[in-house]
Amino acid sequence: MAVQQAAGPDPYFPDNGDPRYRVHRYELTLDYRPGPNRLAGMARINAIAGRAALPEFQLNLADFKIGRIRVDGRQPHWTHRGGRLRIKPAKPLRAGAAFTVEIHWSGNPKPVNSPWGGIGWEELTDGALVASQPTGAPSWFPCNDRPADKASYLLSITCPSAYSVVAGGRLLTRTTKASTTTWVYEQASPTSSYLVSLAIGKFQTVLLGDPGFGGVPMHGHIPAHLLPEFSRDFARQPAMMDLFQRLFGPYPFDEYAVVVADEEFDVPVEAQGLSLFGVNHVDGARGSERLVAHELAHQWFGNSVSIADWRHIWLNEGLAKYAEWLWSERSGGRSAQQLAATAHRLLSGLPQDIRIAAPGRKSMFDDRLYERGGVAIHAIRCALGDERFFHMLRAWAGLHRGGSVTTATFTAHVNRFADEPLDGLFDAWVHRAALPALPAPVVPARPAQPPTSAESA
């Protein structure tokens, strides 16, 4: 596993995260009441100081009431303003020292402000949902909110027994006492704070595919009235999982869950081991199947292999966009070449003023970044040929599993599979704004048929 930490503050969100230390593990104990939208929490955070002593450090947390803070069991001095919790331990932390922070907080969680509106904890009509990309994690727990600081998580959530709780990771226990139930989830894989998610609601749970014979356990958690439509819309997800494991390597986590909230979303959102969809993505006609593929692909590209900072978001979105095209190509739909040509025509008619390697904060979720990122990956495929391209993708997902990367990391990795360096290709497609010509077609190396679970056994 290769882990590449960013050296300083995230250039797009300098107030989020603290690069002077890293977190090893979060243990979150939460009690939530949906009616009054009341959250009470305790976090135990195990962390390690960096190369310099820490006289103080910072966590991100929204406007909650702080009840108690301890650092290695001792009371520190602290301030909490503007979503930044600054903590000064009783004694400075030595360079490289392990330390533990305990924080108690309570209040009414709500989304935090961002250039894209409120993100993070969202109170629903009957329940709650967390979708934190890129900076919404502090809306519900204290964290070192930077994508490169990946940690394991243990989440214990208590809520009224009428509600189900879904989180990314493995469900360890579910214990009912009187009128409440406590759900305990473990996410052992290194996880960025924005990729930790919760869904609290009244769901029906269904199994997606057979997890036997080495398959990945997959479940859907949906409103009961959507079950017929969901069963059709997500019927091919097991075949997607089989295909992506063939193309990208083993699924990087223990399980995969899909949650459909009984609300409309602009777009689905990925979390670690979990994807969140709205009712508008379930129509019974597979109208959002490309998004099903896109969110599943993020488990490899974006979640397991994460970005060191938000400048490199095209690596997440370009590879997930290209996975949509690969699914289409291998399942009897349009080829990646045809879809790349469609995207190229679209891009040619739009302003060409984004450099996807550094799009700027305002443009990091621009549709042009997604489409151009997909065509850039297609250009790499055309340059390498199918055999080396897919070998490159599997090696990328395997070598950097659980780590964080940059565009420079990816460029160097791709060049190892090329006859001659592809720096010119990266310069044209990734670092410059002008749109290059569409790459020449590449002949797919495999037949256009989706694999079956039986074939992958």
> Which residues belong to the active site?
295, 370
Q: What is the per-residue burial (b if ≥16 Cβ within 10 Å, else e) of 28-58?
A: bbbbbebeeeebbbbbebebebbeeebebbb
**Can you say which residues are annotated as belonging to the binding site for Zn(2+)?**
294, 298, 317
What tokens does 168 get?
């990314």
- Dmax over CA atoms of the chain, in Å, equals 67
What φ, ψ does residue 39 adopt, rounded to 5°? -120, 130
Residues annotated in the binding site, as ranges? Answer: 294, 298, 317
Phi, psi for residue 455 in degrees, rounded to 5: -65, -30
